[in-house]
């Protein structure tokens, strides 16, 4: 699974950095319902990672847990419709 982790690290770094080597992911906001991860860089840039499958989403979230501190991982509140 470390190979997959390396792939996500390269993809996220590449998508965030755009040539800026001193920019890194500071925090993420995870939306479980939509299977998205909003990455916020040290420069304030935002990149939305949309996962096509549940497994891809789990892989991205697990990767975030390995490279970020728990206080830098936020979850969007799940809105439940009242009937």
> Residue 17: is its pLDDT beyond 70?
no
15 versus 34: which is more confidently predicted? 34
Question: Which residue in this structure is represented by tokens 């990149």?
Answer: 47
39 versus 5: which is more confidently predicted? 39
Return the pLDDT at 81: 78
In sequence order, which residues have a C-beta less than 8 Å from that of residue 63 and are 6 or more positions away?
Answer: 4, 5, 8, 9, 12
Q: What is the pLDDT of residues 42-83, one digit of tens each?
A: 899 999 999 999 999 999 999 999 999 999 999 998 777 787
d(CA 58, CA 18) in angstroms, rounded, equals 25
pTM above 0.85, yes or no: no
Return the pLDDT at 1: 46
């Amino acid at each position: 699974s470390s190979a997959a982790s390396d792939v996500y690290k390269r993809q996220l770094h590449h998508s965030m950095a755009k040539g800026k080597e001193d920019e890194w992911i500071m925090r993420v906001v995870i939306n479980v319902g939509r299977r998205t991860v909003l990455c916020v860089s040290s420069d304030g840039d935002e990149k939305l990672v949309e996962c096509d499958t549940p497994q891809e989403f789990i892989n991205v979230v697990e990767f975030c847990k390995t490279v970020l501190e728990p206080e830098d991982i936020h979850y969007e509140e799940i809105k439940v419709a009242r009937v």
